[in-house]
Chains A and B, each alone.
Chain A
Amino acid sequence: MDRRTLLQTLASTATGAFLGVEPGLLQTAPLLTRKIPSSGELLPLIGLGTWITFNVGSDPTAREQRTQVLRSFFAAGGRLIDSSPMYGSSQAVVGYGLARLGRPATLFAADKVWISSAERGVAQVEESRHAWGIPRFDLLQVHNLLAWEDHLPRLFAMKEAGRLRYVGVTTSHGRRHDELEKIMRSQRLDFIQVTYNVEDRTVEERILPLAAERGMAVIINRPFQEGALIERFRTARLPPWAGELGCTSWPQLLLQFIVSHPSVTCAIPATTSSAHAQENLGVARGRMPADAERRRLLDYIRTV
């Protein structure tokens, strides 16, 4: 065990103890990570999305359930949580959970600015930060490229002033890739966020290679197409070689396909289940398939 592995294992165990998770639930094998190219900081391959799943309003029962998801996520070594002011009460529910967990120090807080007025963007970021209950965001992204020309200079200024660590932009559903490409070529972004999964692979052509060329980290949203892919494969037989990759379920296999792309930094599946949060993170403990194995998965999926 090298020094980094040892430290990760110790950090995971300590986080679990801090969060009050039973030792039996902890998977202490270190998570696979990728570097954020602009800083060299390591991020686990699997993060946590909050679209729909964390939008539960003030419902105390649902808030406690989501806190359990966060507890499992951190206990299993997860770091990056992504939200947006567009997600209803999700930010506040994340903030509630973080407060209940004593604001885990390993959190990598990723949020977005989503407003057409740049002036009001600053206030929106402050509202978001307040909802999360954190001193600053690690990453702020311009949501769906909305008014990016106005927002990016302000976000870069925040980064320069030390009030933010990374700046990015997002798209989803494969939309507006031409504009995204233009932004990636003209701006020094730390992150981009795009949709990528076994069914939607358009980013493989231009966006992912460009991100690698420009040294940008890549977050992947909609890894399961909001559950549609899980539903599609629910009754399908797992390929016989899934075990060789350390995968025991279709969600794991689908996630592994995504994060095994060398240009992908992190995928952010959303879930309402603690068990699924841990299962998702388990992907970052398996072996990453080689190119031939990724192609074999795609071939297999075509037969399902």
Chain B
Amino acid sequence: MSDWGTYRLTDFLMFSRETYYRLFERFNQALWPWQLVLLVVGLGMVALARRRDPTSRLGTVAAVALCWALVAWLFHWERFREIHLAAGFFAAAFVLEAVLLLVWGVRRAHTPPGADRLDPVGVWIMLFGMMVQPLIGPLLGRPWSSLEWFGAAPDPTISVTLGLLLAARGRWPLWCIPVFYALVSGATLWTMKSPEAWLPPLVALICIGRSLTRHR
């Protein structure tokens, strides 16, 4: 239809930046202090990722998969769906990614140790997604109470996942949903004129770039 050429990103934005940030504020209030537990789980996951035994290798991926399921249910389905008509689809996509990650985790646990050395750039991106990325929005002016925590909010969870996929050489089907959502999130934030809009797409770009250019 010729009309499609007349649409702009702003035509698809159905809530204000204030409403979006308030969503996270209220989410954080309802979840507290479980965000801290998720952060500890995340840091433990990074430590596990560096171990080579099958249980640790499965545990790392299973923890990330659990976070995807939590974001799908607690954020997209329970909260974001109130103000975004597409949030139900996002929830389904996040559940699918959780399943794909679990399948990958089980298969990876049975590969011989040493067959896939961790890429250190991926590990650093995991730590960045957990410890640094959530702080950037507030440092650029967003309310601290609306901070997005790893394991509960989509963007840091996606960065940690992309870091893990980069570190452990995850296959491309696992990348599709995180990269897609990083672009969606970046576009949403950019349309709302949020200063941190560049962050999710940049993390995805770095991970994809590193994955394509490193020596195997």
Enumerate chain A interface residues (CB-CB to B < 8 A). Answer: 51-53, 55-59, 61-62, 86-89, 173-176, 226, 272
Contact = CB atoms under 8 A, between A and B. Distances in A.
Given A52-B13, A52-B14, A62-B22, A57 B82 contact: yes
Contact of A59 (B3, B6, B13, B22): B22
A173 B11 contact: yes
A56 B83 contact: yes
B19 interface: yes
A59 B11 contact: no
Interface in B142-158: none
Contact of B85 (A57, A86, A176): A86
Interface in B1-24: 3, 6, 10-11, 13-16, 19, 22-23
Contact of A57 (B6, B10, B13, B83): B83
Contact of A55 (B10, B19, B79): B19
Given A62-B19, A62-B22, A175-B3, A55 B11 contact: no
Contacts of B15: 52, 55-56, 88
A212 B100 CA distance: 59
Contacts of B110: none
18 contacts: A52-B14, A52-B16, A55-B14, A55-B19, A55-B83, A56-B15, A57-B19, A57-B23, A57-B79, A58-B82, A59-B19, A59-B22, A59-B23, A61-B22, A88-B14, A88-B85, A89-B82, A176-B3
B82 A88 contact: yes
Contacts of A51: 14
Contacts of A88: 14-15, 82-85
A53 B23 CA distance: 14
A56 B22 contact: yes
B2 to A, nearest CB: 9
Contacts of B83: 55-57, 88-89
A187 B37 CA distance: 61
A107 to B, nearest CB: 24
B107 interface: no
| Max chain B C-beta neighbours (<10 A), residue from A87, A88, A226 | A88
B11 to A, nearest CB: 7
Contacts of A55: 14-16, 19, 83
Nearest to B8: A173
Contacts of A58: 82
A149 B16 CA distance: 33
B87 to A, nearest CB: 9
Given A57-B23, A226-B10, 10 more contacts: A57-B82, A59-B23, A61-B22, A86-B14, A86-B85, A88-B83, A88-B85, A89-B82, A174-B6, A272-B16
Contacts of B117: none
Nearest to A89: B82
B26 interface: yes
A257 to B, nearest CB: 22
A174 B83 CA distance: 26
Most buried by A among B14, B79, B85: B14
A88 B83 CA distance: 5
Contacts of B23: 57, 59
Contacts of B84: 88
Contacts of B16: 52-53, 55, 272
B89 to A, nearest CB: 14
